[in-house]
Structure 1
Amino acid sequence: MSGFNLLSEQGLRLDGRRPHELRRIKCKLGVFSQPDGSAYIEQGNTKVLAAVYGPHQASSKRSNHEEVSVNCQYSMATFSTAERKNRPRGDRKSQEITLHLQQALKAAIKTELYPRSQIDVYIEVLQSDGANYAVSVNAATLALVDAGICLKEYVCACTASLSKDNIPLTDVSNVEELSGGPTLSVASLPSSNKIAFMDMSQRFHLDNLPIVIEQALGGCREIQAILEKEVRKHLTQIGSAGDWSNVAK
């Protein structure tokens, strides 16, 4: 339960959202030409870049693997938060998120199609305002799609928490994370309703946990629809650019 009331008397959150509402999401595929795939996403004020290289031949240490090796690297820009400048790159928290990203992405990739291969996923948080892991998963999914990596389905992630009155909240901002109670992060495969990864900042009461999980999964389903819409838009633009029949004579 939260230590502070995160809802106003009108039932609105600190940033004006209703309890179930996501922050505004803006995203784009193909933002870089050098990687095989790339994407940029803004979820509220959290801004993340993702780049994918591969599949390519695995390093000698991993060349014997029958399935693809997914190598992730997560980092935060020095200017991403006020306190970030005091933390070194590759700190323990970043290493944990890197492993969690790896777990979520491997659950979505058709790894059996790329034996003895490696896929490198690089994540850079440009601005942090809560749900860094969740937004990173969503950015990585778009970058994998842009790279043409075969996925079982999209893997999407969302956070959830509870207000002081035990009202579930979707897509928790940094202010809510700091002033509220425990936060749940869920990466799921929404189409099959499977959970790829789940983490809690603190323990929830057993009576509240199912409600918070369902709130996060509902957010994942909404995010999936947003990502799919952006992918269709991107593919339409690529198709239009490559349609020589539209070239002026």
Structure 2
Amino acid sequence: MGSRIEILNEAGFRSDGRRQYELRDLTIDLSRHGEADGSALISHGLTQVLVSVHGPREAKMRSHTFHDRANINVEVVVASFSTGERRKRMRGDKRVLEFASTIKSTFEPVVKTSLYPRSQIDIYVQVLQQDGSTLQACINATTLALINAGIPMNDFVCAVTGGVHSTSPMLDLSTLEENDIPHVTVAVMPKTKKVVLVTMETRLHVERFEEILNLARDAGKILHQEMKEAVLSRASSLVAMGEPITKGQKADDDVIMD
């Protein structure tokens, strides 16, 4: 049975008026939220995520302490009002735990954890609003929050969700599109062009997969530019206000400037 929603019409427009490869508007707010060492509030279209980073700091539990590197701890909370379902996702929800595990494994090779032995970096992810590509938003917000907290990283991590409708690839999917077409989330490091994450929840033909992967790499460059501009703008505004650039804004010059 076909979809009741026209995912891509004959003129090449999607249900929200975008073209096939067009990304939704990205808004970034790097002002400090709460007591976090660094935070980032970002929106991809109607999907909105707030990430707060605390640390590096002493680990609360000995079992979470590694003598040669920092432990990255990730917690994800999905607001009960974030979707039309009105279903509360608790911390133990399987999908929420998967999100946390995916974010942790994505950033462990990218963060320079060896600089902070016997410490812990806590990443708190709050999904405030969901309209597709939620993991994409979580990863991009985590990148910015870590940079804002001054955590040294090898590179930015830029994520995008792509899918295929019939034979037409599409990027930055909305909920309507995710519910209807096979899709994959890809995260890349733009400086080295390395792919650090590929996660698929649905089957995708191998030929289509390669096409989506290449498109995601290109989209990652666009996202990287916007994310880098937001970081530099934040640093400039702090300088203009006469505030010292703390560890939260220096954030490994290589990552910001390259």
Q: Same fold (TM over 0.5)?
A: yes
Contact preservation (8 Å) 1:30, 1:146: no
Displacement of 1:100: 0.2
Q: Distance in 2 between matches of 1:91 and 1:104?
A: 20
Q: Distance in 2 between matches of 1:205 and 1:168?
A: 12
Displacement of 1:243: 6.6
Instruction: Please name the residue that 1:218 is paired with.
Output: 218
The worse-fitting range, judged by mean Cα deviation, of 62-71 and 12-21 is 62-71
Instruction: Please name the residue that 2:43 is paired with.
Output: 42
TM-score (norm 1): 0.92
- Partner-residue secondary structure (3-state), 2:62: coil
For 2:187, the aligned partner's letter is A
Contact preservation (8 Å) 2:6, 2:15: no
Q: Distance in 2 between matches of 1:134 and 1:171?
A: 8
For 2:127, the aligned partner's letter is V
Unaligned runs of 5+ in 2: 245-258
Unaligned runs of 5+ in 1: 245-249
Q: Distance in 2 between matches of 1:223 and 1:27?
A: 11
Cα RMSD after superposing both structures: 1.7
For 1:153, the aligned partner's letter is D
Instruction: Please name the residue that 2:169 is paired with.
Output: 168
Contact preservation (8 Å) 1:66, 1:116: yes
Identity %: 34
Instruction: Please name the residue that 2:248 is paired with.
Output: none
Q: Distance in 2 between matches of 1:84 and 1:65?
A: 43
Q: Write out the 4+ residue segments of structure 1 that deviate beyond 6 Å after TM superposition.
A: none
Contact preservation (8 Å) 2:78, 2:90: no
- The 5 A counterparts of 1:87-166 are 87-164=89-166, 166=167
Instruction: Please name the residue that 1:196 is paired with.
Output: 196
Instruction: Please name the residue that 2:237 is paired with.
Output: 237
Q: Distance in 1 between matches of 2:86 and 2:107?
A: 26
User: Residue by residue, what CA displacement relative to the aligned partner does 1:95-120 show, whole Å, maximum 9, x if unpaired?
Assistant: 00100000111122111111111100
User: Which of 83, 87, 99 matches 1:81?
Assistant: 83
For 1:214, the aligned partner's letter is N
Q: Distance in 2 between matches of 1:216 and 1:113?
A: 31
Q: Distance in 2 between matches of 1:140 and 1:243?
A: 24
- Partner-residue secondary structure (3-state), 1:51: strand
For 2:90, the aligned partner's letter is P
Displacement of 1:30: 2.6
For 2:129, the aligned partner's letter is Q
Displacement of 1:189: 1.0
Q: Distance in 2 between matches of 1:230 and 1:86?
A: 32
TM-score (norm 2): 0.88
Q: Distance in 1 between matches of 2:22 and 2:142?
A: 22
Q: How many aligned positions are there?
A: 241
Higher relative contact order (CA 8 A, sep 6+): 1
Q: Distance in 1 between matches of 2:87 and 2:206?
A: 38
Q: Distance in 1 between matches of 2:114 and 2:229?
A: 27
- Partner-residue secondary structure (3-state), 2:53: strand
Contact preservation (8 Å) 1:159, 1:185: yes
Displacement of 1:5: 5.2
Instruction: Please name the residue that 2:66 is paired with.
Output: 64
